[in-house]
A and B are shown apart, each in its own frame.
Chain A
Amino acid sequence: MPTVYLPAPLRRLTGGASRVEVPPGTVADVLRALDERFPGMRAQLCDEDGSVRAFINVFVNGSEIRTLQGQQTPVGDEDEVSIIPAMAGGSPRRCLCR
């Protein structure tokens, strides 16, 4: 069975689980399977139109799915899917050339 790895910020959605097994298929199937297991999860990870939110990165074996076949990327028995939210921020803009 493929495994889904979920880092700390997402474990609130999985009751603390860091790894979840799902049936093989595509990334879309994996997201559906996660949502069945943890209702509401898909809505957290995807926009209303079903696309993965811009600040969510989904990896299959270390490659981001946007560089693969998106949600149609196949996920086999030996594959590992990782889902991580972007960690980002900024500082107030101020001229550095005083």
Chain B
Amino acid sequence: MWYFGDVADRGADTRTQAAEAERLRLSRVHLEAMVAHAREEAPNECCGVLAGRDGRVERVRPVANADRSPYTYRMDPHELLRAYREADEEGLEVLGYYHSHPATPAVPSRTDVARAVDPFAVYVIVSLASEPPEVRAYRILDGRYRELELSVG
């Protein structure tokens, strides 16, 4: 497995506090925004950036899926760059990322685990395989994942 930076070196990451929290907080509006985006893009996967502060999401920022695929996503790098800059300009931290699984459960796939490069980020997955859709959050580290609490309200 391959990560950016020494995972043990937590001091340097501004998201350390949020990253070590076992939950991600967000409003119902933000939750519904991710589900709406997933439905819009179905049968393809959708993806986007979650920005906020102190572990609470304040912005759900859709990013185009350059793969346009039902099985994979790759955030359009130009849009991803814009999303990072917008977060900086608004004084928000990029807390994590979301994507959809149009036909399978909200559990990280092997590809999700293999391609995760940010051990401090929260990875949210929206599954349209069930109704109502299932939304779950994870941290992905060292080839493994751990579920986090999604605190809605």
Contacts and interface: CB of A to CB of B under 8 A. Distances in A.
A9 B112 CA distance: 16
A1 interface: no
B94 A90 contact: no
Interface in B62-97: 63, 67, 69-75, 77-78, 80-81, 84-85, 87-88, 93-94, 97
A31 to B, nearest CB: 15
Interface in A26-63: 44, 55, 57, 59, 62
Interface in A57-98: 57, 59, 62, 64, 82, 84-94, 96
Interface residues of A, number: 31
B5 A13 contact: yes
A10 interface: yes
B93 A8 contact: yes
Given A89-B72, A89-B116, A11 B14 contact: yes
Contacts, number: 122
Nearest to A45: B4
A12 B80 contact: no
A1 to B, nearest CB: 19
Contact of B121 (A9, A14, A15, A82): A9
28 contacts: A7-B81, A8-B84, A8-B118, A8-B121, A9-B94, A11-B12, A11-B13, A12-B9, A16-B12, A16-B13, A55-B117, A59-B77, A59-B78, A59-B81, A86-B115, A87-B47, A87-B117, A88-B73, A89-B73, A90-B72, A90-B109, A90-B111, A91-B101, A91-B112, A92-B104, A92-B110, A94-B104, A96-B102
Interface of A: 5, 7-16, 18, 44, 55, 57, 59, 62, 64, 82, 84-94, 96
Given A44-B4, A89-B111, 17 more contacts: A8-B87, A8-B120, A9-B117, A12-B6, A13-B4, A14-B12, A85-B117, A86-B75, A87-B63, A89-B72, A89-B115, A90-B45, A90-B69, A90-B71, A90-B112, A91-B72, A96-B103
